[in-house]
Every structure is written in structure tokens, then in C-alpha cells.
Amino acid sequence: MNDEGEFLTPGKTEAAEGRTLELSEKYLTHTLTSSEADELLTLITSNPARSYDFVANARLHFLFTEKFKKIQAVQATIMASQTPEPEPNADIIIPSSYERDWDRQIVFTTDNTSARSLHASTPEAPLSLGQKITQVTRILWTGRRAVKTTRRIVLGLTVIVALCIVIAVLFPKPSDDRTFNGIARVAELLDAKWSDNSSIYRRGQILAPGELELESGLVKLEFKSGADIILEGPCRFLATGTMSNSCLYGRLSVEVPKQAKGFEIITPHGTIVDRGTAFAINADEKETAVEVAKGQIEIFSQDRSVLLSNLIRGQAAILDAGNKLKNYVPQWSFYQEPQEFVAEVAARASKQIREKTAQDVQMDSDPSLLLRLDFNQKNYHKLHNYSQRGAAAGITPKFFGGACEEGPTYSTHAVAFREKNDGIALGIPGEYSSFTLVAKVRLDDFKNATHVLLATDNYLDVKGGLLWQITGSGVSQLQVSGGTDGGVTIYDSGPTNIKRYRGAWMTLIIIVDGEKGTITHFLDGQYLRRSNLKEAGPYRFGQVTLGNATRDLEVRDRVLTGVMSDLRIFDRPLTAKEIATVSQTGGNE
């Protein structure tokens, strides 16, 4: 760790890295021998970076296996009750309590019940995850390399794994693949509400240059340069590039790695340039407040012609329109700790997934449900109709093209349809006077004239055949065929603002009510338009293609050009409550 509080990873040989990973996996799968335990202990204690590797390996093991619920139970036990006292003469330091506020206090006891405390009596800059792990590793291992028995080795490793579990669950480390095309992407959201003047942004969305206006909530942006920014609403942010952006007003928490040194934020009163930092900004019409959590920043006049000040960790200043600076003691009232933010996102997403799963299971037994496709599985090409009635009737989907991508919520999946041969085929027999279509999708763009969600094969030749698509102008549209000589009737959602959802997840619903003679469009549970039906039906799905219609239509640009995570078909109109339930898009918006 350097003077700026950054966690530094010392040089490691590939052999040492590989061996640490190999032994860590053997330990977690209960196949580690006594001699290998000695070797693993030496590797971990001799290098703080390898300790972090061990933590990361444990995180992956426990978060992505069926043992996750057991780990949550262990975590609850560790946090809710005292750890049993070690046997006499056990030369191991164990945690007697776990404090979520690591910046304030970490207490450990030994076999003679003495305690040591790391306590901050005055406000200090928040510690990074790397600093926290380093503190724990030092306390656990300093001066204790002479462990005499295998039993003590295993006990020591068990203590570390217990801490790893807590850290892994509360502070999960997100994927840092930044090979996307764009200046940044929306990494996570918490209760985000966007202004009516702003585009809608959701998890996983790639950002082009443009303005984001957040009314409330939190949004984390990951820039291609490596920098991260957490926006806190109300906030108006102008995304202009991978290294330079503007905050017109609002609160930002910025974390910049070494490779993005020089990353800058322009405010109405000046320009803040990072020198390898974590800092927070609170800007309004009168002034801009800046607090430095790590490293160093430079404050310039807005045009960068005058260097006004340098601030280092633990310092803060207020800048007004007249280039006047006033230093003050930071209170960290508008700094968002990145790891705590991600932990909250993960916890919220986990709750959403549990609730959605319970709702889906209940809905699958609905006798009106003909089809429910959920692509949240790694073997996404092995599709299953979760509808009990539909599966019993032989309505079985067949995958013939597409790619697995990230879904609308944390740790979920979806299928992308972008190539001319992508799509899913199935047959839905019967005739219907009423039905409801539900699709959860994300469009890359609106460049095609049409983006097909569902199409009856050769639908122009099928009386009552259906084509559901989104037009290039951003309109949800259902076409009903009158057969070979009957023409086509078009029902659309009217002049809507679906284009605001470019690259964002949305739930589209169409309800055809034969009894009332109406067709109604919804977007994310919000009413768009109701029209009178011009024909009485019956309507026929027949052989259907999802995500495409290029195999049977002369027009060749009808592929969805986007991603689908959920599709449902009911043979009745849904109620208002059911519409709200199936419209939950996810992504913590």
C-alpha cells in the first residue's frame, strides 16, 4: 500500500499465482492435504496480494454454487453471535465481532480474551476494499508464521474463509470487462428515477455522448478508461468522453485507477482533475464542494487556464464562480463508498429474483398461460416452456439461433437476436378470441424499419395470423392478417416515446379483449393506447417465430436486433394487478 492509500499488488510469478489458485480451489472443495495446507498458508501469508486472490477465489466459489444459501446462514451466524473461544494455547487471532463500519472499528480477541482495536477518533477518508482486506490480513497473520500443527493450520484457514464469506457477500467485486463500444456503461442502479426530459437508462446499457438527468436514486457508470462514477439524484450529468465529463449540478462519487490518471470533471465553477484518486463532488448554482477520499486532485478554473489548488486525501474545498476557494473539514455526507453501493445492489437484486421466482411459479399454474419462456440459464439454447398447460399441450420451443447475454437484473441472462438466422420456433395450436402478449426486451437501436418480437410463419396467408413488432419510429405494433385476400389490419401504440428506451430494458404488453372489442398497449405497466378491434377474430398463432421473421417474409430487416429475457402468452386479458406484476423490468430502477 502506498502513501495515497492505494492497494498495490506486488509482482508475482505466474507459477505462484497458479499454485495459490489451485490450492485455494482444493481447500474449498475439501480435497486439500496436510502438506498442501502448509504450502497454501505460506503462499497466502507471504504476500498480501495473494491473500486478496484467496478472497476472490472464495467469493466466486460461494456466490456461484448451490451453497449460497448456506453461506448466508453462516454469515448471519457470524454477525449475530459470538465466535466460540479457541482451545487453550491456540495461537490464532479470531474475530469476536463484526462491525459493518470498518472505517471506525475492527476488534479481534485472542485466546486470553485480550482485544486490539483499530479506532478512528476523528473523521478520516473512507478506506478502500483493498485497504480493508490488507488490515484484516495483517491482523490475522503478522508474527504468526510458526504454526506448529496441521490442526492449527486448518483452524487458521477456517477463520480466514469465514471472513472471506462475509467480505464476499457484503462486498462482491463486479466484472471489470470494459471492451464495450461506447464511452461508458450503466453498471448498477438503486431506486433510479429519470427525468421526463432524459432518456431511460438501465443496467448494462452502453452510453454514447449525451445528457443524463437523474431525479432521484443512485446510478453507477463504468467508463471505458477505467474510471467509475456514482451519480446521486437530483443530478444532471453530461457524458462527453472516456476521460472528460461535466456535472451541471448534483452529487458525484468518482474513483479513478492509475490507467485513467488525468480523468476530469467539469463543473459550473471549475475543473477537477484526478491524479489517481477517489473523490466526491457536490455542485449547485452557487458553488462546487470537493472532498478527496484517496490520492490527490487538482482544481483548475473552468477553462483550465489557472491552477487554483491541490488537495490530497482527507482534504476538502468549496469553489465559487469567482474562482475563490475555501477549505473545510470533509464530512463525507455526499461520498458513496463503491463497495457498499455494490453490496446493496446485490442484496436488492437477490430479493427481486426471489420475489420474481415466487411470482413466476405461481403464474405457471395459471390455466390461461400458454407460453412462458425464461432465458435465465447458461444452457439458454435448451428452452423450456414453464407453462404447465402449454407444456402439457406440446407447445415446445426450438432454438435455432442467438447469443447469451446479460439479463435485466443482477446475475441473470437473456438471448440476443441480431443475425438473419437467429430466432426461436414453436407451434401454438388453436383459435383465440382474446389473448395477452408480454415481452421483456432491450433494443440495440431503431435503425431497422421493423424489429420483430413474434410472427406467425407466412402470416399474410393465414387468416387471423399475427405479427408483433417495434417500428423504426419507436412504435409497438400488432398486425392481424385477413388471409390471402383480406389484407392486413394494423394496431399500434400511437405516438409514444419508446425511443427513450434505446439500449434499455422495457416490458411491452398487448391485450386483445374480444368480449369488449378492444386492443390495448402498455409500456412498463403504463397505459399507452386503446383501440377498437376492426375484426372479431378468431386469431391464430400457428407456427410462430420469436425474435425474427426473415425466414418467411420478403422483407429482410425484421430481426429483433436486440435482447429478449422473457416472453409470455395468455389466452385471456390480464388484470391491472397482473399487468403490474409482469411489468417489473428489474435492474433496480
- Give the model confidence (pLDDT) of 471-502 as tens digits: 988 999 999 998 877 789 999 998 777 887 88
Specify the pLDDT at position 161. Answer: 56
Specify the pLDDT at position 353. Answer: 76
Amino acid at 149: T
Specify the pLDDT at position 218. Answer: 92
Contact 168, 52 (CB under 8 A): no
- Give the model confidence (pLDDT) of 79-89 as tens digits: 444 333 333 33
- Give the model confidence (pLDDT) of 381-408 as tens digits: 778 899 999 999 889 898 888 888 888 8
Q: How would residue 148 be classed by pLDDT, with cut points 50, 70 and 90? A: very low
Mean pLDDT of all residues in 132-156: 42
What 3-state class would DSSP assign to 579?
A: helix
Contact 256, 263 (CB under 8 A): yes
Angle at CA of residue 55, ends 51 and 60, nearest 5°: 145
Specify the pLDDT at position 60. Answer: 53
- DSSP label at 460? G
Specify the pLDDT at position 533. Answer: 95
pLDDT value at 116 more than 80: no
Cα torsion angle, 385, 391, 395, 397, sign: positive
Contact 409, 203 (CB under 8 A): yes
**48-63 and 68-80 are packed helices; what angle lies between their axes, rounded to 10 degrees?**
120
Q: What residue ranges in 162-300 does DSSP mark as E strands?
A: 184-194, 206-207, 210-223, 228-239, 244-255, 264-267, 270-274, 278-283, 287-294, 296-300
Amino acid at 532: N
Distance of CA 416 to the CA centre of its chain: 18
- DSSP label at 501? G
Specify the pLDDT at position 155. Answer: 54
Averaged confidence pLDDT in the chain? 76
- Give the model confidence (pLDDT) of 417-434 as tens digits: 998 889 999 999 999 999
Percent of all residues in the chain with a pLDDT value above 90, rounded to a whole number: 39
pLDDT value at 290 more than 70: yes
Mean pLDDT of all residues in 257-261: 92
